[in-house]
Amino acid sequence: MLIIRTVRKLLLRLFIMPFDKNIYALKDYSRLVLSLAVTLTLFATAAAVDNDTIKSLKAIGGKVVQVVDKNRDACVALVDGMGSGSGVIVSEDGLVLTAGHVIENTNLRSFEIVLSSGRRVKAKPLGHNLNNDLGMAQILEPGPWPFAKINRNNNIKRGDWVVSIGHSGGWELGRDAPVRTGRFLKLENSQLVTDAVLIGGDSGGPLFNLEGEVVGIHSSIGDSVSENRHIPIELFITDWKRLEEGQQWGMLANLGREGKPRPLIGVTVDLTASECVVTAVIRNLPAAAAGIRQGDVITKFGNTSIGSGQQLINVIQRQVAGQSYPISVRRGGRTFKFEITPQ
């Protein structure tokens, strides 16, 4: 109990108190939202927390503030009328890196970048490589734009602290992109795996090292809250010219743990809602073919009642790709039933 109290006090001192006075003054500070997974992991395994870990937490507090303060204006939302994702400006003339699955499904006629100030600017998608989930866009209005530096040294090591920024749950007016911290755990299937929690809306956002350099781009939620996947920046560097030229290639692999395919239905859901609200339906995937629409509330999948977006994700991951399942949705006060075949 003493260790738990020590860690709790430390987290409060490091991450809440420095921002208390101006926490709502967006021009002074970004609001830091700690990685819930990291915090809960520390509490749940408090007996294993040693002096080195506590010293490490103390050391990164100021660095996290510096990373956010340095890069918050380069962290943006991509909004297209169907939903939103995240991105990061990486050049003075407005090049934006994001995830391939975010840019692939952008409605070209209403694609906007939302800056940290809330200002909206027109943008266009450039290239994407879906094999590695890479995407690039270009702001159409003239700069110069605030931008984040990318790490070209490929020097991230297991156990390094990282800072995750993204529009969790989708972009919201008046809310800064939430910030989370975590550690780099491993490289798996050409992706960085960290325990910095991702939820819907984070896709395409930046992962920073403590020097404030972009080391990765958020790609997907892992099989547990402690495994979240990010595209290494080196893959963007390798394909940079093709992406900038607007080339588009590849197919999303939808890989889960150990590279095994996970069932996919092709919706994004609001993970912050008290029910399973569909925020976007991706064309040419099973949900669209079945008749699911944006705004539907999924209430049942197979024989399981669905009460939240996370529950839907957990249920789908246990199903078999290629097999048909009944799915029920609430739409405008009525219940509709469909057959859906995850791929």
CATH 2.40.10.120 domain locations along the chain: 1-258
Q: What is the pTM of this model?
A: 0.66
Contact 154, 216 (CB under 8 A): no
Q: What is the pLDDT of residues 196-231, one digit of tens each?
A: 888 777 889 999 999 999 999 999 876 566 678 999
State residue 193's pLDDT score: 92
| DSSP letter, residue 275 | S
Q: What is the pLDDT of residues 299-326, one digit of tens each?
A: 999 999 999 887 887 788 778 878 999 9
Of the pLDDT bands very low, low, confident and very high (cuts 50, 70, 90), residue 62 is confident
CATH 2.30.42.10 domain locations along the chain: 267-340
* Region 67-85 average pLDDT: 84
Cα 71–Cα 74–Cα 79 angle in degrees, nearest 5: 140
Among candidate residues 98, 276, 132, 113, the one with its CA nearest the CA of residue 202: 98
Which residue would you say has higher pLDDT here, 22 or 130?
130
Which residue would you say has higher pLDDT here, 16 or 327?
327
State residue 22's pLDDT score: 25
Architecture per CATH, 1-258: Beta Barrel (2.40)
State residue 85's pLDDT score: 84
* Region 95-100 average pLDDT: 94
* Region 67-95 average pLDDT: 88
Helix ranges (DSSP H) in the chain:
2-15, 36-44, 51-71, 100-104, 233-244, 286-290, 309-316
3-state helix, strand, coil in the chain (%, to 5): 25, 30, 45
Contact 125, 151 (CB under 8 A): no
Q: In Å, what is the CA distance from 99 to each residue of 131, 232, 239, 243?
A: 11, 11, 13, 12
Looking at domain 267-340, its CATH superfamily turns out to be: PDZ domain (2.30.42.10)
State residue 47's pLDDT score: 38
Which residue would you say has higher pLDDT here, 9 or 185?
185
